[in-house]
Amino acid sequence: MTRIMLRLVALAGALAPAAALAVTGGEVDRDANGLRRSVVQIESSKGELCSGAVIAQNLVLTAAHCVLQSASYRVVVVDHRFRRYAVKAVAAALHPSFVPGTTPRTQPGVDLAILKLAQPLGPEFQPLDPGASAEVGEGEYVDLAGFGLSSEAKRGSARILRRTRLVSLGTMQVANRVLVVADEDRLAETTGSGACRGDSGGPILRGAPGQYQLLGIVSWSSGALHAATATACGGLTAVTPVAEHESWIRSRAAALQRFDTDVPAAAPPTAYSSATGYDWATR
């Protein structure tokens, strides 16, 4: 095990993680042809905020823990003039190994879900292809994008698309297997760039506008080891690697595409089904 991975294990045991709900230390993305075409905001009727990645004109990949409430969900997108509008989510497929009732850090399953939208987003949005994903090696650079807070102290800073550049520290087995990324200069010792509250479900990726490669979905984040105040932001960002779960994403995406949104179905369930996990659908 390399020195940086030994340090990572020590940090992960010492830091208090939380669901990653904004990009700390990032910059606002104002490119009309950039990330706003592929990264969206997810809101529940109970006020929960997450992010997500467009993988088809009517499908969004996000974190499973973002869509567990008995609530209605909508996806908020930004058009080329940076006007916001919402599209209702009508169905979801959660990874069957995900274990509700646990935190993203402690649950042993896979923190992934796919939302189906009531209507296609339109040609100005660009889906990311999970099948084109790849493993991320230690020391490689990735971009993180999301709609959350710029810091926990700035509660009004969410719902703006931000991005930041991070470095991969490699994969780590916690309760499940995650890829861990962090600010290259701080390495979670002191507060730097990373996910914050509002970024759960958002993507890490690489490439340029029109050629982005989807690499992972944010699950949780932590504060830095020597943060001035207690926080869940600016330390480590834990990501579910897309390449390791591409076959499930592909199969469940196909099943959701066959789902008839005009057929009445049950509200988000409160009981687990071994056949479908926590899949749900609403009218």
Kindly give the confidence (pLDDT) of every residue in the chain, 283 residues in length, as a single tens digit, with 9 standing for 90 and above. 344 554 555 555 555 455 544 456 567 888 999 999 999 999 999 988 999 999 999 999 999 999 988 889 999 999 999 899 999 999 999 999 998 888 777 878 999 999 999 999 999 999 999 999 999 999 999 999 999 765 555 565 567 898 999 999 999 988 889 999 999 988 888 888 888 888 999 999 999 998 999 999 999 988 888 877 777 788 899 999 999 999 999 999 999 998 765 544 434 433 334 445 568 886 3
Asked if the domains 3-28+130-243 and 35-128+245-281 are classified in one and the same CATH topology, the answer is yes
Give CA–CA dist 7/194, Å, rounded.
18
The pLDDT, as a whole number, for residue 268 is 46
- Is the model's pTM score more than 0.95? no
* DSSP assignments along 212-273, one per residue: -EEEEEEEEEEE-TT-SS--SSEEEEEEEESGGGHHHHHHHHHHHHH--TTS--PPSPSS-B
For residue 132, CA distances in Å to 5, 41, 46, 246, 271 come to 27, 23, 34, 9, 34
Give CA–CA dist 192/117, Å, rounded.
35
- What are the sequence ranges of the domains in the chain? 3-28+130-243, 35-128+245-281
Token readout for 253 is 């995406």
Asked whether 224 and 235 are in contact (CB, 8 A), the reply is: yes
Residue where the block lists tokens 């009445």: 264
Q: Which CATH architecture has domain 3-28+130-243?
A: Beta Barrel (2.40)
Burial grade of 41 (CB within 10 A; 0-12, 13-18, 19 or more)? buried
Written out in words, the top-level CATH class of the domain with range 35-128+245-281 is mainly beta
Asked whether 94 and 107 are in contact (CB, 8 A), the reply is: no
